[in-house]
A and B are shown apart, each in its own frame.
Chain A
Amino acid sequence: MADKMALAKAINESLRHALESDPKVLIMGEDVGKLGGVFRVTDGLQKDFGESRVIDTPLAESGIVGTAIGLALRGYRPVVEIQFDGFVFPAYDQIVTQLAKMHARSLGKVKLPVVVRIPYGGGIGAVEHHSESPESLFAHVAGLKVVSPSNASDAYWMMQQAIQSDDPVIFFEPKRRYWDKGEVNAEAIPGPLHKAQVVREGTDLTLAAYGPMVKLCQEVADAAAEEGKNLEVLDLRSVSPLDFDSIQASVEKTRRLVVVHEAPVFFGSGAEIAARITERCFYHLEAPVLRVGGYHAPYPPARLEEEYLPNLDRVLDAVDRSLAY
């Protein structure tokens, strides 16, 4: 039965389902209890599952992740919320040196099924540290998995799968899409968590994106279609691992690739995609892999973010440049 719901609500439903089906699942974070989180993603969960399972924590991100590790060692499956992207860095040490490495350090004897939820990205007119896209900083770390849904259905299912994963998962939620509605079929059988999906078939060029930029790429494809260009849009869904097989299959067909993300282009996930796809598809490519993303500058004040973030025209410009080769 497919229900139409906002992306934030889909995550809420997913968390509710996880809390219902596994008594070891816990929700932790700042303001996740009575308030339901600043984006209301955990709305109503503490009321229904109690303070022992939906835990308002002190304002200390390292403490949140560090204690979640301890709870995971005790057999729990904590889902922790970092309130905003720019607030994750106090926890970065615990995530990188402990959460990511303990399974390897123990030669596989310790598993840390911890999900770190991070609302990320810009476009909501927020103050500093509330609009960042730090996914590459986590994708660079072995031991972590990094995913980002672009729509309500994926948000629901990918959260289920992230919670079931025995590896730590950094779950980037596209906060500017929280209120976008989509159909969620809670009885469907989802595809694998780390598999990309072709969300629009095309023949002339592949647009690859994840999270908040998928919708933009679909709009770009619509606009390009009016000009007679037939673009394929690939929703990568997972940043670590990246589904290079799907990107390769698409590029072998279209021979052109443009990668779009909000994060800075420099050392961003697009760089890794460009390098690997150049290696895999060298003889198929008609143009170098192009990237559209943020600039190598601190995320600007809200009045400038439209200039900083990829938009329709900037992506179309890259599409034209690629097609001009």
Chain B
Amino acid sequence: MSKLVEIRNLHVEAKTDAGRRIEIIKGVNIDIAKGEIVALIGESGSGKTTIALTLMGYTRPGCRISGGALLVDGKDMAKLSEQERADIRGTKVAYVPQSAAAAFNPSQTIMDQVIEVTRIHGLMTPDQARARAIELFKALSLPSPETIGGRYPHQVSGGQLQRLAAAMALIGDPKLVIFDEPTTALDVTTQIDVLKAFKSVMKAGGIAGVYVSHDLAVVAQIADRIVVLKGGEVQEEGTTEAILATPTHPYTQELLAAFEPKETQFAGKRTDKARPLLEIENVIAGYGPIQADGLPFMTAVRSVSLSVEKGRNLGIIGESGCGKSTLARCIAGILPANAGNIVFDGKELDHNARRRSRDALREMQIVFQYADTALNPAKPIEDILGRPLSFYHGLKGKARDARVDELLDMVRLPKALRYRHPAELSGGQKQRINFARALAANPKLIICDEITSALDTVVAAAIIELLKELQRELDLSYIFISHDLSVVEAICDEIMVMYRGEKVEHLTREDVKSPTHPYSKLLFSSVPKLDPTWLDNLVLEPELVRQYGGA
């Protein structure tokens, strides 16, 4: 097969603010044949997006291509002038960004933006372009393809917008399309539709693709070949089947292992009448002004009850917008519930955290999803960890320092990190600090709100392992909120499925494989498997998809 793309000994370097040059891509060679989809996978910082962007002759500010050749359809993108590159972008090489919501202009109709490429390059008349766009909308199985172009970006769902972004990329008939983590921000149920649409369009048009992702299971569905990257170098390269079946490089093996978290021996010692640590009954919460019937304008949690026993974990799972985070905020008292009871450790808690006792606040801690915003960027780690120590336990000076060291040790971080600021830590390290701050309070219950969803698979798996170890050592209970079933399965004794603010099913470890509620079935069957044929063989009941597949 003839080569469409040949990357030879590519080097990209970046300049730091101290004027030092660092090489971020160190001599990469990649070939892509016509009509072939190649996936670039690796953790964040591995250089996968940087390589993908160089295929358009583009580097992010502060970076430059310092060596090597980048032949795309016979032209070296590294050596072309900016004008020549602009001619190629959109017509030969196109780009689908991670967040379509941020890539669309909210004040123009979708159609105007989709056909903009043809106008810029003078490819066809506006009428032809519109007709072509509608064909693409059909091919991408978008609903009402004739009229969807007349809407504005906020009037369609996230999954639809992502497919529209693909239509925008495909309208110039490119030979190569670059997908930059296009489904990472989507729910699993939506992700399936988008992946299917991408796959069929690419195969039908014989278009080559570069698919950047950190999710091996997603990549397995769409790519012909996989290139594994780490630290700006190619670690392993091979067909999808070969990489999944017989990974040779340690990093690839680690990546595969991280995908299937180690099954832990759950303490089967369910004492007969264990006293529940947390019990909530018929909690209702929401946003907006209170209506005449005493309920908020927008109800996000509708009459949910749950209980968590001491030393056991409850997982709450559901798509975005199902109210799982609101429920967590209710329990923690950040968003006072409008109705219902919250009983913690035998005592009834006030709905508002401001009126709870200091001890009640101490015993229940919440850890947020984004460690970037949950840690004060202006403070060193020792102050961040030290504050709850002096606030709750009155520790000062030496005793406080010693305890900070202990906490860092608990979350497996070196003691020297205490002098650093959050910006100087990696994503995984920040999340560990975030967790250590909750531990500093000596809590009985920790509410973990999507704490692994912003992290890479390998790092997330390590955090889950850490959580399990700490549970054994400290006799903690967790409420674990996630949209990722595999994460919840790895750590939780019981799983609660939420949909549109309601609890639709409660599963124990025994019956997790056989959910009964239709939404749970759809959700569980939508989780991608590490099997390249999974997407093609997946048959979802159309009735289910119509009812619950929100996209």
The yes or no verdict on A and B being binding partners is no
Identify the B interface with A (CB < 8 A): none
Identify the A interface with B (CB < 8 A): none
